[in-house]
Amino acid sequence: MHSVSDQGSQQAPATAVLSRHLLIRELGTQDYTAVWHAMQQFTDQRDANTPDQLWLLEHPPVFTQGQAGKEEHLLLPGDIPVVKVDRGGQVTYHGPGQLMVYVLLDLKRRNLGVRQLVTLLEQVLIQLLTPYGINAYAKADAPGVYVDEGKIASLGLRVRKGCSFHGLALNVDMDLSPFSRINPCGYAGMQMLQCKDLGGPQTIAEAKQRIVQCFSQQLNVATLQHTTGLDWQND
């Protein structure tokens, strides 16, 4: 897409327009490390005229260990690789049937603090699940979204240059057994839940459609642009 002019007289209107625009990047199934490095590069190279983006995808099986991650929470990773990453939080699992939403926002432009962003992500997930009759909620001391003390979605973020990357993981229809090989998010015995078993979205496609709607409302977005592939330099 064309960059917005950065002439001084147009700075304020450009900022207002960009804050109402969101690009949705559908990536299918992608290697975790490749997408992580792409998020870093995107964040390092973006500027004041770069539209905010959501990257929607699934990963092959992988454990990711955040900056606060402790080795003792990796109980028995076995044949599933472990990747140490630059997001906050402890260890979690990603795999097929789990919807990843990477949230690439200019927080300064949107006047969002990190705590406000965490709350916004939790509200997106709660809003997504509520129409299905799922009583989801957040916890002040443990980021993520829960149902009856079980965890259905995890959050992990990094902020650089006033911009966010990483994001959220919603369990939709997946093999939950690898979570038993770790202490999810650092909590021994944490029960992990998924949408399919609770009457929520039954497929990744359904969850994606709903979550984009919820993000649009929470971020007050007026225009959505959809694209595919990781070639973000040529949008």
Catalytic annotation, residues = 185
> Does residue 131 contact residue 196 with C-beta atoms inside 8 Å?
no
- Report the chain's C-alpha Rg in angstroms: 17
Calpha distance 152→171 (Å, rounded): 6
